[in-house]
Homo-oligomer: A and B are copies of this chain.
Amino acid sequence: MISVEDARSRIFAGLRPMGDEIVALADGLGRVLAAPVVARLTQPPADVSAMDGYALRAADGVGGARLKLIGEAPAGRPFAGRVGPGEAVRIFTGSFVPEGADTILIQENADAADGFVTVRESPGQGQHIRRAGMDFAAGDVLLPAGRRLGAREIGLAAAGNHGWLRVHRRPRVAVLATGDEIALPGEDIRHGGIANANTPMLAAFIAAHGGEPVMLPPVPDDGAAIASAVDAARGADMLVTTGGASVGAHDLVLEGLSTEGFMLDFWKIAMRPGKPLLFGRVEAMPVLGLPGNPVSAFVCAVLFLGPALRVLAGGEAAAPQLEPARLGAALKPNDLREDYLRARLERDEAGWVAVPLPVQDSSMLRALAQAQALIRRPPYQEALAPGEMVEIIRLDD
């Protein structure tokens, strides 16, 4: 049995980021940049007004002064002339400051009538002017390669005048559930059977993490059937299996994979829930074998599949983010396996309180769906009292 951290490092070592493609800016949501986004223009492009008001020379902006209005500078239509002594130009937020002017008198501090504006309160030099390039200059790196694109990143790339983005392709990830007992959800379930939760759950997980799921038809606990399904998965960027990894004396997924030339990297890790985790490759295709139990499969997906998808999609090789929380109940000492307890979160003045769910049995899918976090317990962690600090992974995204 290897540790969670070792397992993750070995998975990372076995993955390569997907190649590049271009997408229209508006289709970039959730994608990962394959190249930096470099500003194609300077923002603001010139000195601009930060307020609605009047552009004038600071030397003229003394209380009571009456300045001649010589024109307007609406946003997008710069004033063509020059502001001379005793003159002012009506200006709006975002408008270019006309030549000659070096301050903005905001409209709240001005009285305009009959083609003149009277200064009520004197603006300092440079007041309410945003300098050219204050946000960024042409040639600046706005977003680094590897950044996942949210709404703000798309807005920033747009502001930098990009209509297309170079991103990593989405990894196509095949999901293969194994088990004699599983039936497709909604279909008739024979005596002794259960509905297949893993395939749709993991497909949704893969989609939520930037991958394109391929739901392979589930196969029974039979080495030949598994081998045939693995063969059919060839060409996927990754294969995820569930089940079969702790069925009695021999491992059926391992048997089926071996027929297809599987190179095993590791099998079994020191964690709970989810001991029988398997990783290796069939030719170039990485294979991650998750436990058959949906709760264990989901926890292992959070710890290993999510980070793996991130690397495939071109992002950083990193563990899920751990956050501090206080414990809401006492916990006994932990054993040699790293433990991930399902917990709900409560908030108080000082931060988050993580309360372990009363039943931690790994068959409780309903409890998993109610959990808001996993509490991570390192191997051999001592008993903990309520109020002590723990590390959590939040699930409520």
Contacts and interface: CB of A to CB of B under 8 A. Distances in A.
Nearest to A193: B76
A158 B196 contact: yes
A247 B365 CA distance: 55
A159 B366 CA distance: 9
Given A41-B189, A292-B94, A181 B75 contact: yes
Contacts of A203: 26
Contacts of A134: 361, 363-364
Contact of A324 (B200, B349, B363): B349
A196 B154 CA distance: 11
B151 A298 contact: yes
A71 interface: no
B361 A50 contact: yes
Contacts of A35: none
Contacts of A140: 366
A29 B207 contact: yes
Contacts of A184: 163
A280 B233 CA distance: 53
Given A78-B191, A185-B157, A204-B154, A366 B135 contact: yes
Interface string A182-201: 10111101011111111111
A369 interface: yes
A158 B201 contact: yes
Interface string A147-160: 00111111111111
Interface in A314-351: 323-324, 347, 349-351
Q: How many copies does the complex hold?
A: 2
A44 interface: yes
A125 interface: no
A124 interface: no
A324 B298 contact: no
Contacts of A368: 152, 155-156
A142 interface: yes
B142 A163 contact: no
Contact of A92 (B28, B75, B248): B248
A298 B152 contact: yes
Nearest to A73: B192
A277 to B, nearest CB: 15
A36 B368 CA distance: 17
A313 B161 CA distance: 32
Interface of A: 25-26, 28-30, 41, 43-45, 50, 52, 74-78, 90, 92-94, 96, 107, 130, 134-136, 140, 142-143, 149-164, 179-182, 184-187, 189, 191-205, 207-208, 215, 220-221, 246-248, 292-294, 298, 301, 323-324, 347, 349-352, 361, 363-369, 389, 395, 397
Would you list the 10 A-B pairs with minimal beta carbon distance, nearest first?
A163-B186, A76-B181, A155-B201, A76-B180, A151-B205, A159-B197, A151-B204, A158-B185, A158-B197, A155-B197
